[in-house]
Amino acid sequence: MKNSLNRMYGLYLRHFFLIRNSFPRVMDLIYWPTIQITLWGFISKFFSMYSDYYNNTVGVILTCAILYDFLFRSSISFNMLFLEEIYSRNFTNLFIAPIKISEILISLILTAFLRTMIGLVPAIILTTPLFGISILNLGIPLFFLFLSLYIFGMTLGLFVSSGLLRFGPAFENIAWSTMFLLAPLGCIYYPIEILPEILQTIAKGLPLVHIFEEARHILVDGTVDYGKILNAFYLNFIYFFLGVLLFYYSFNQARKKGSLINVGE
């Protein structure tokens, strides 16, 4: 057990020092979330002047923007840690080292959380002085919403990383586009009723819909429906389990075909 923790901690430290000792990497983590949330803050402020759909348009849209950015950053952070191993030509060394696949995944999941928070915390802090909005208004349910989004972000990271194992760096573009493909069905900024019926059926199979619908429900009506939060967790655990299975399958297939050696080249 101790050796396992040491191996996971060692892999965590590798990426931690890589981030800490690189000012451009830290700036990149902070820059994009801050710009996006600030931009959406001003757009929401504009909408509030010309729309009475929500009593608190800025608060609703900006809160959803923060939640979505948390999801996006967590997924991308997981993928980037995997890609860092490819870029540095350390991919082969990673898998021939005496470290288990489960230990690699746990280390990447924990390190991805660090990268996500580095980028998101400054952006969240800025929303109060700029727009008078605090995401903490969601109260205790905020923890469960963030946790559910993080699990789904890690799930997407597992699916994309499985593709990287199978197809190599050519699959990198999918890492950047995954969240944009799911965003329309996630109903991030609008109710699910906006979608055509057939798309509503598909969207209900995603945890995103339940998460963002509940976030708007809390902010608009001031009440909490834990049933929707639980539905999101149920779906998340199913997808996460499938993601882990797919990752192990892709790894075993890549090892059988000998393509692991060529991934980092």
Q: What is the pLDDT of residue 114?
A: 82
The most distant pair of C-alpha atoms in the chain lies apart, rounded to whole Å, by 60
Q: Evaluate whether 67 touches 215 at the Cβ level (below 8 Å).
A: yes
Does residue 236 surpass a pLDDT of 80? yes
User: How does pLDDT run across 183-225, given as a tens digit for each residue?
Assistant: 778 888 778 887 888 888 888 899 999 998 888 888 777 788 8
Closest CA to 215 of 72, 61, 74, 33: 61
- Indicate the residue type of 85: E
Q: What is the pLDDT of residues 126-165, one digit of tens each?
A: 777 777 777 777 778 888 998 999 999 999 888 888 887 7
* Residues 75, 233: Cα–Cα separation, whole Å: 17
Residue 219 CB: number of other CB atoms within 10 A? 19
How far apart CA 20 and CA 13 sit, in angstroms, is 10
CA 235 – CA 222 distance, rounded (Å) = 25
Per-residue pLDDT at 68: 84
Is 108 or 57 the better-scoring residue by pLDDT? 108
From 25, 3, 213, select the one nearest 114 (Cα to Cα): 25
pLDDT at 242 > cutoff 90: yes
